[in-house]
Amino acid sequence: MSQFPALTSGHRPVGVVSFAQYDNVRREEARNEVEMLMPVVAEVFGNIGITKDDVGFICSGSTDYLIGGPFSFVAALDAVGVWPPRAESHVEADGAWALYEAWVLLQEGEIDAALVYCFGRSSMGDLGQILSVQLDPYYLAPLWPDPTSLAALQAQAMIDKGTASEADFAAVASRSRRSALSNPKAQVAYDRSPEELLKEDYEVAPLRRHALPPLTDGCAAVVLAAGERAYELCERPAFITGIDHRIETHSLGARDLTASPSTKLAGEKAGVGAKKVDVAELHAPYAHQELILAEALGLADDVAVNPSGGALAANPMMSAGLIRIGESARAIWSGQADRAVAHATSGPCLQQNLVCVLEGV
Amino acid sequence: MAERCAVIGIGQTVAKSKREDVSIAGLVREAALAALEDAGLTFADIDAVVVGKAPDMFEGVMMPELYLAPALGAVGKPMFRVHTAGSVGGSTAIVASHLVASGIHDRVLTVAFEKQSDSDAMWALSVPQPFSAPLLAGAGGYFAPIIRAYMYRSGAPRDIGMMVAVKDRLHALKNPYAHLHLPDISMKMVEDSIMLWDPLHYLESCPSSDGAAAMVIGSEKAAGAATAATGRPPAWIHGMAMRSEPTMFAGRDQVNPQAGRDCAADLYRQAGVTDPRADFDMAEVYVPFSWYEPMWLENLGFCAEGDGWKLTQAGATSMIEGGDIPWNCSGGVLSSNPIGASGMLRFLETALQVRGMAGEHQVPDARRALGQAYGGGSQFFAMWVVSADKP
């Protein structure tokens, strides 16, 4: 009998057994979403020698506003080729939430494996303008606040409260981009000291260029497998021992932007603090947000945070969250970590957060 | 194994062309509060919220669930957003039910909506895309050629669609929540309405509505508690299925899609249904254009291929005529169409029926019912079976 870790969430062990992502690029001009997804889907199946016929469920994550047309997920399905017809679903969210839906279905025991994929191109329009229509349509969106300006309010609130400084933001960016040098999928990687980064001009004060995520076109895919099937497909599956997601109120004025109670609660429900964490992959598009998330999750000083470089290295919309889970799983497959925490976020200033704890046996 | 789950609360808004009295948040909250009241619960009792709607461009708000979190009592809870085209209302109910069937939650609130008057669905459906043929005619223009193929194949008389249009509007007169109440509806009135997309007259098409639907899905324990508190019975979920197929490829049967047939087969296996016409007491099926009733009668196995129109013609699907398998007693999509909610309204109406709470459009002694929703180019299907009896 195979060994499975103790579960905090659910009752059936489900593992991440394969992960693939596109080369994160500033602007993919030659391929559309389907053409970007096709090699990624082929790779995520090819890694473990299965085909679409071997998964009982498919779930994708994307948002129509990036492509500027309705039903962008409909065409994307051609990247898998759902013929004969398949059990399939779609979330208007990051792929991490698509993974959650697949994990729920796997709990019921009817199926043993599922494909999750997601995609998004930031280059199709003005991302700042696009994301501003994600806000309250009556009171906030008419002001057209872009996500960087909102994030700057959050960063300034941290400074005002005395919980962080601009030097702290630069330290996060410096470390993340240096880690990204060893990530072949990173879009932005460099070796620059925090002191050097602090000489940059402000984009929106107090955020300088280094504290902002890159604009990225990309996509990603994961295969989940349950129970013994996980071991058939992967020598050391990254089992999901805890997974939870929580949302906060939308109005920025009603939130304490310097904290992330939804991440804290999701982390508690997912059992983050139960045992030592080796690696944490946090979906922090802006440098200061990593500090908020690490605090909310109660991560110890010895945790390797964002060894991939995180969203500061590449921030493909709707995929950057699932990629955090994929990168965490890779750390477990390689033996680099026994226990990893992956996080995904959605909405302005970390409004909604998902936490996934992965363990190898 | 999956846990038992049931619909324990139901709420819906009146569907109208324009709900100018409420914001989007006000609209969804109205349905959610009604569902909670029916279940004898408050927001505090809810473990998670699952929201569904059709393309975000229908209102011009990207991922509106983020803004709706406080209005739906979701703050501090898991909130989930589903989007599977026109089938989304059904898919959303299914995703919510799996959160209970998997044993993760006890009580999940699920809400679907569309406030179409905030934007223009025809425009939102017709945004030009690179390397894609423009769909400037909206959904009716897309489906009319498929309907003509059905007429050619089956030899159905031209007035079958009009019969469905009349029948569903007569049903709608018994449903106070329906958008269209046309007391004078007749074959002549439908025939005299303007031809939009041959063979579809104006009155053979669904309206464009503002509206929301909500349900509380509960575990066996939650269902017992709700019934004890309210005296109202649950609607037990006996099966749920979803299937998708590609929009187009050579040889795809768009008239009788394989995904619909496979979805029904999976569903019937779960629910132990062998003869749908005999085994179901009623069905709520997504019929946005009149001719989809005979087409789905065949796709869902209520009759042999090519015979669907004969059931419609004989009045088998009419509650008014005492048909043996009444379809869309609420008036269906032809009478109310807040697109994102339309699929959930089908599912919700089946639950109302088996709980015996459908009021004037109640089918006597309805114990088992089929809910179906479809979307995209007849390529996404979501279905469930609910029953008055515990599985």
Please indicate, yes or no, if residue A131 is contained in any of the structural domains. no
Question: Do both A224 and A245 map to the same domain?
Answer: no
The reported pTM is: 0.98
Rounded distance between C-alpha atoms, residue B199 and residue B291, angstroms: 9
Q: Which two tokens stand for residue A270?
A: 């997912």
Task: Tell me the HSE value of A286 on the side-chain side, using a 13 A CA sphere.
Answer: 26
Evaluate whether B5-121+209-235 and B136-207+238-387 have a shared fold: yes
B230 touching chain A per CB within 8 A: no
- Residue where a domain terminates, one of A179, A205, A236: A236
Question: Do residues B289 and B150 touch, judged by C-beta distance below 8 A?
Answer: no
- Say yes or no for a CB contact (<8 Å) between B247 and A93: no
What pLDDT is recorded for position B137?
66
Q: Looking at beta carbons, which residues of chain B come within 8 Å of A352? A: 66, 69, 79
Please indicate, yes or no, if residue A1 is contained in any of the structural domains. no
What pLDDT is recorded for position A1?
72
**B255-300: pLDDT as tens digits:** 999 999 999 999 999 999 999 999 999 999 999 999 999 999 999 9
Question: Do both A77 and A174 map to the same domain?
Answer: no
A142 touching chain B per CB within 8 A: no
Average pLDDT over residues A303-324: 98
Chain A interface test: which of B23, B92, B94, B102 (most A C-beta within 10 Å): B102
A29 touching chain B per CB within 8 A: no
A253 touching chain B per CB within 8 A: no
**Residue A177: which residues within 8 A CB-CB, separation 6 or more?**
A188, A189, A190, A191, A192, A210, A309, A312, A313
Cβ-defined contacts of B225-229 (< 8 Å, 24+): B226/B8, B226/B9, B226/B39, B226/B40, B226/B41, B227/B8, B229/B40
DSSP conformational letter for A215:
P
Q: Which two tokens stand for residue A289?
A: 């947000």
B380 pLDDT more than 60: yes
End-to-end CA distance of chain A, in Å?
Answer: 13
Question: Do residues A322 and A61 touch, judged by C-beta distance below 8 A?
Answer: yes
Touching B: A residues 7-26, CB under 8 Å = 9-11
What pLDDT is recorded for position B1?
52
B174 pLDDT more than 60: yes
End-to-end CA distance of chain B, in Å?
Answer: 13
Chain A interface test: which of B3, B22, B23, B80 (most A C-beta within 10 Å): B80
For chain B, which residues make up each domain, given as ranges? Answer: 5-121+209-235, 136-207+238-387
Question: Do residues B237 and B7 touch, judged by C-beta distance below 8 A?
Answer: yes
Average pLDDT over residues A42-69: 96
- Say yes or no for a CB contact (<8 Å) between A82 and B247: no
The residues pairing with B384 across neighbouring beta strands, listed in sequence order, are B240, B371
What pLDDT is recorded for position B136?
63
Share of chain B above pLDDT 90, in %: 91
- Say yes or no for a CB contact (<8 Å) between B62 and A110: no
Please indicate, yes or no, if residue A353 is contained in any of the structural domains. yes
A143 touching chain B per CB within 8 A: no
Touching A: B residues 355-384, CB under 8 Å = 376-377, 379-380
B84 touching chain A per CB within 8 A: yes
DSSP conformational letter for A214:
P
Chain A interface test: which of B50, B67, B219 (most A C-beta within 10 Å): B67
Domain that holds residue A26: 14-126+215-236
Average pLDDT over residues A3-15: 97
A105 touching chain B per CB within 8 A: yes
**Which uninterrupted H or E stretch holds B146?**
helix B138-154
Question: Do both A193 and A62 map to the same domain?
Answer: no
Of residues B134 and A121, which shows the higher confidence score? A121
Rounded distance between C-alpha atoms, residue A184 and residue A180, angstroms: 8
Please indicate, yes or no, if residue A6 is contained in any of the structural domains. no
- Say yes or no for a CB contact (<8 Å) between A135 and B67: yes
B55 touching chain A per CB within 8 A: yes
CATH of B136-207+238-387, one of 3.90.78.10, 3.40.50.1970, 3.40.47.10, 3.30.930.10: 3.40.47.10
Q: For domain B5-121+209-235, give the CATH number.
A: 3.40.47.10
CATH number at residue A243: 3.40.47.10
Average pLDDT over residues B3-31: 97
B131 touching chain A per CB within 8 A: yes
Lowest-confidence segment of A21-25, A80-84, B130-134, B313-317 by average pLDDT: B130-134
Question: Do both A157 and A31 map to the same domain?
Answer: no
Question: Do both A62 and A148 map to the same domain?
Answer: no
Burial code of B282-294, b = ≥16 C-beta within 10 A, e = fewer? bbbbbbbbbbbbb
What pLDDT is recorded for position A68?
87
A60 touching chain B per CB within 8 A: no
Q: How many distinct structural domains can be found in chain A?
A: 2
Question: Do residues A170 and A194 touch, judged by C-beta distance below 8 A?
Answer: yes
Q: Which two tokens stand for residue A134?
A: 């994600």
B249 touching chain A per CB within 8 A: yes
Distance of CA A46 to the CA centre of its chain: 23
Question: Do both A38 and A119 map to the same domain?
Answer: yes
B125 pLDDT more than 90: no
Please indicate, yes or no, if residue A105 is contained in any of the structural domains. yes
Of B281, B287, B385, nearest in space to B336 by CA: B287
- Say yes or no for a CB contact (<8 Å) between A248 and B56: no
Share of chain A above pLDDT 70, in %: 100
Partner-chain residue, chosen from A70, A75, A248, that has the shortest CB–CB distance to B55: A70
